[in-house]
Amino acid sequence: MASRPTGRTAALSLQLARAHQELRRRLADLRADLGRPRRPDGPGGHDDPLLAHCLAFCTALTHHHQGEDTGLFARLLRERPDLAPTIGKLVEDHGLITHILTRVRDLADQAATTATATGADLEAVGRELDGLAAIMDSHFAYEERAIGAALDTGAGDDGWSEAVLRFRAP
């Protein structure tokens, strides 16, 4: 039986929407970085702005989804087993997004380790980011509708919110 919503519980759906908005903003920033000049010391690991920004974004999104899978969704399934099909779809989306993030990381790494990243290298990263943005928008909208309502009806926070709702600075 779900507990009665408190101000903190009811605010969780709004916090989830804000976390998603922050991830969208970070993705837009990453996309904008594609045209940013590279550092004069040449390519290399985390010194490359594109690769560094990509790694920060990919890490934030991965931690967000892991927190949902192992924390938020597990909690919701205990309190709302009727959400199993919805949660199953969201977890499936997380797998697809993870695949795209791996591709983005690989392409950004390839562009960063090339002495002069070509327009084609950056276009390939851009295409993956565009696809990721479309999938994220659809996923986040669905999640906010389906899970947000469950959060507002009383699913408590047993510690899952830290990974799902809070991000370190990029």
What is the average pLDDT across 62-70? 93
Residues near 54 by Cβ (< 8 Å), separated by ≥ 6? 30, 104, 105, 108, 125
7-165 carries CATH number 3.30.365.10: no
8 pLDDT more than 60:
no
Model confidence at 46, pLDDT cuts 50, 70, 90, reads very low
- Residues 21, 33, 62, 42, Cα dihedral to 10°: -160
**pLDDT at 98 (0 to 100):** 95
The phi and psi torsions of 155 (rounded to 5 degrees) equal: -70, 120
pTM of full prediction above 0.85: no
1 pLDDT more than 50:
no
Domain ranges, ordered by start, for the chain: 7-165
Q: Give the helix ranges, DSSP H, for 33-118.
A: 49-67, 73-79, 84-113
**pLDDT at 111 (0 to 100):** 78
Model confidence at 160, pLDDT cuts 50, 70, 90, reads confident
> What single letter denotes the amino acid at residue 39?
R
